[in-house]
């Protein structure tokens, strides 16, 4: 199966810091992959390269056949439609209901979608994350875990081939974090490649999925699913 995401010697410098350093990696469709490493290791920078928020200083970043490293700005929306994004702080619009948040995301990225269709698809996505009953709630009326599930529904409503999540459980207690991770795992089972940057090593160990470890911008370890033992980067 061809790679869905491929980095070839990807390097990113911010002024004097080399945040991502000569990374080679490939992700396949339907894989759930964790990205771990100490604070400042380059996890967020790597996700931003994949989403073409930034361009590599050198090397290549391929996403679903598109060259993110050399993509013309006019083609960025084409790439973004293929990548769902989930953040630590949810980033929901506070004045819109859960349903409106999801429907709005669909409409701004695809002007062909009618109001009625956006409504139906948003409701389907909320039901898929177990929040059909909260469709009319505003973000402040939802728990952190529920808000994150709305954000996940928003990210997957167009069924992108890739979902990237930057510390999606960082604001959640362990039990809620576990539920959110199980939801991401379920999404990957439907064929979406899911890449999750996280500090939650307890969950990573329990899930036994592929783990990529970054230290000082370098990919120092790539552990296959089912063989995740020690995760302490100090030992690598
Ligand atoms: N916009 C920026 N300008 C300059 N340096 C930056 C910028 N963003 C990140 N850096 C630096 O790049 C390095 C990698 O940062 P990055 O945010 O990618 O790490 P991270 O692994 O996501 O860390 P954390 O676990 O704390 O979120 C760090 O040294 C950081 O200080
Ligand atoms: Mg980060």
The first and second tokens of residue 138, run together, are 């505003």
Q: SS3 for 12?
A: strand
Q: Is 174 in the pocket of ligand 1 (CB under 6 A)?
A: no
Give residue 39 CA to ligand 2 midpoint distance, Å.
Answer: 7
Ligand number nearest CA of 36 is 1
Angstrom CA distances, 61 to 10, 98, 107, 199, 201, stand at 7, 33, 28, 24, 27
CA distance 199 to 46: 15
pLDDT beyond 80 at 167? yes
What is the model's pTM?
A: 0.96
- What is the pLDDT, as a whole number, of residue 112? 86
Tokens of 124: 């389907």
Can you give the pLDDT at residue 232?
67
User: What confidence score (pLDDT) does residue 229 get?
Assistant: 85
pLDDT for res 1? 67
Distance CA 107, CA 113 (A): 6
- Quick one: tokens of 19? 């945040």
Answer yes or no: is the C-beta of 17 below 6 A from any ligand 1 atom.
yes
Residue 230: pLDDT over 90: no
In whole numbers, what is the pLDDT of the chain averaged over residues?
A: 95
Ion ligand 2 nearby residues (CB, 5 A): 43-44
Alpha helices (runs of H) in the chain, residue ranges in sequence order: 43-50, 76-80, 98-109, 115-128, 144-156, 174-189, 201-207
Distance 104 CA to ligand 1 centre (A): 30
Four-point Cα dihedral 228, 43, 190, 97, nearest 10: 130
Alpha-carbon torsion angle 63, 69, 74, 76, nearest 10: 40
Residue 124 Cα, ligand 2 centroid: separation in angstroms? Answer: 31
> Residue 113: pLDDT above 50?
yes
Question: Is the CB of residue 225 below 6 angstroms from any atom belonging to ligand 1?
Answer: no
Averaged pLDDT, 206-212: 96
Taking 50 as the threshold, does the pLDDT of residue 236 lie above it?
A: no
Read off the DSSP letter of residue 46: H
pLDDT in tens, 58-93: 999 999 999 999 999 999 999 999 999 999 999 999
Average pLDDT rounded to a whole number, residues 134-159: 97
pLDDT tens digit string along 132-145? 999 999 999 999 99
- Regarding the beta carbon of 42 and ligand 1, being less than 6 Å apart is answered yes
Residue 47 Cα to ligand 2 middle (Å): 9
Using alpha carbons, select from 162, 27, 190, 6 the residue that is nearest to residue 84.
162
- Encode pLDDT of 99-112 as tens digits: 999 999 998 877 78
Contacts made by residues 121-125, CB under 8 angstroms, sequence distance 24+: 121/157, 122/153, 122/157, 123/99, 125/153, 125/154, 125/156, 125/157
Decide whether any atom of ligand 1 lies within 6 Å of the 40 Cβ: yes
The domain limits of the chain are 1-82+161-236, 92-159
Nearest CA to ligand 1 atom 28: 40
In this predicted structure, the answer to whether residue 43 has a pLDDT above a threshold of 60 is yes
- CATH code reported for the domain at 1-82+161-236: 3.40.50.300
């Amino acid at each position: 199966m061809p790679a869905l995401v491929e980095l070839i010697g990807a390097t990113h410098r911010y002024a004097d810091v080399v945040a991502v350093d000569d990374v080679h990696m490939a992700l396949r469709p339907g894989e759930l992959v964790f990205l771990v490493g100490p604070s400042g290791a380059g996890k967020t920078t790597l996700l931003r390269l994949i989403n073409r928020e930034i361009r590599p200083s050198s090397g290549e970043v391929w996403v679903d056949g598109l060259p993110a490293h050399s993509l013309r700005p006019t083609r960025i929306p084409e790439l973004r439609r293929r990548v769902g994004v989930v953040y630590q702080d949810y980033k929901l619009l506070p004045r819109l209901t859960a349903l409106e948040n999801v429907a709005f995301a669909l409409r701004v990225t695809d002007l062909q979608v009618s109001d009625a269709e956006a409504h139906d698809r948003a409701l389907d996505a909320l039901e898929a994350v177990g929040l059909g009953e909260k469709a009319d709630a505003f973000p402040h009326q939802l728990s952190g875990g529920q808000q994150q599930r709305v954000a996940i529904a928003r990210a997957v409503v167009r069924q992108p081939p890739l979902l990237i999540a930057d510390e999606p459980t960082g604001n959640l207690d362990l039990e809620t974090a576990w539920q959110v991770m199980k939801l991401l795992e379920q999404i990957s089972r439907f064929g979406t490649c899911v890449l999750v940057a996280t500090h939650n090593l307890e969950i990573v160990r329990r899930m036994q999925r592929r783990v990529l470890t970054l230290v000082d911008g370098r990919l120092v370890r790539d552990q296959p699913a089912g063989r995740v033992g020690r995760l302490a980067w100090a030992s690598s």
